[in-house]
């Protein structure tokens, strides 16, 4: 069974189209979206449409998804993110608003679980940045592997049977029987790890292999669309920097 996991598209149609082309090469059995289809860029409705076309598909909510339909308080967002949410609220079709409202926060599979931010109080949209954050998430993790997104910064962390956590070097890991794993799958539409290429993840359950993947896309085209709207212009130039 081969899964393609992706998140934080953030209305970046060009980035998502590039990743979808990569999906076609990988013989994917199931697609899994960890939320934040919308927010920041200029094509929220188009990105929802392309996501829903993938089959079979599992989707959970991100904070921008819920904020765009009034299910999450936007006061805690920074001014630029808040402005983008307000813009997105006006752009979304009624059908797509109904779709986003019904997205769940978590989903369990046979050997893994998915959540946008963290397993502890997922509705609070906590970020996992530190070792302490990681250990807290493992306390709530019942499955061998947990896939997350939200920070737009990909990583692979393992935990041995004694509870020791270690960051796995590189972008690929072969799962060990007596270890647990926390995987941040990065962001398709707005990477923040100084690499502007769209980021996603492949999980081969039969081979027990997980890989973080990158693909370039037409950044300028995405930037031009943002500039042509009333969205904050910073959202355009940051795409080139991967920040």
Residue 75 has pLDDT above 90, yes or no: yes
The two tokens of residue 16 are 């998502």
For 117, counting Cβ atoms within 10 Å of its Cβ (0-12 exposed, 13-18 middle, 19+ buried), the class is buried
- For 2-241, the fitting CATH number among 3.30.70.100, 3.60.21.10, 2.40.110.10, 2.30.30.100 is 3.60.21.10
d(CA 149, CA 139): 18
The two tokens of residue 168 are 């796995």
End-to-end CA distance of the chain: 33
Residue 13 has pLDDT above 90, yes or no: yes
d(CA 24, CA 76): 38
Mean pLDDT of 32-39: 98
d(CA 237, CA 241): 7
Mean pLDDT of 39-66: 98
The two tokens of residue 143 are 């499955």
């Amino acid at each position: 069974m081969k899964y393609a996991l992706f998140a934080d598209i953030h209305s970046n149609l060009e980035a998502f189209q590039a990743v979808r082309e990569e999906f076609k090469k990988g013989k994917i059995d199931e697609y899994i979206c960890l939320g934040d289809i919308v927010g920041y860029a200029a094509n929220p409705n188009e990105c929802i449409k392309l996501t829903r076309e993938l089959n079979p598909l599992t989707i959970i909510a991100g904070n921008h998804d819920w904020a765009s339909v009034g299910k999450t308080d936007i006061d805690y967002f920074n001014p630029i993110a808040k402005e983008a949410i307000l813009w997105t609220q006006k752009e979304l079709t009624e059908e797509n608003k109904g779709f986003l409202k019904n997205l769940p926060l978590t989903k369990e599979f046979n050997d893994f679980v998915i959540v946008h931010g963290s397993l502890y109080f997922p509705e609070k949209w906590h970020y996992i940045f530190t070792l302490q954050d990681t250990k807290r998430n493992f306390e709530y993790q019942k499955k061998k592997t947990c896939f997350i997104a939200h920070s737009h910064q990909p990583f692979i962390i393992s935990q041995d049977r004694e509870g020791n956590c270690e960051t796995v070097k590189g972008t690929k890991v072969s799962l060990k029987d007596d270890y647990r794993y926390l995987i941040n799958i990065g962001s398709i539409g707005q990477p923040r790890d100084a690499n502007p290429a769209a980021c996603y993840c492949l999980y081969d359950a039969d081979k027990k292999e997980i890989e973080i993947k990158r693909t370039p896309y037409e950044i300028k085209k995405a930037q031009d669309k943002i500039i042509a709207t009333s969205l904050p212009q910073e959202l355009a130039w940051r795409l080139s920097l991967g920040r």
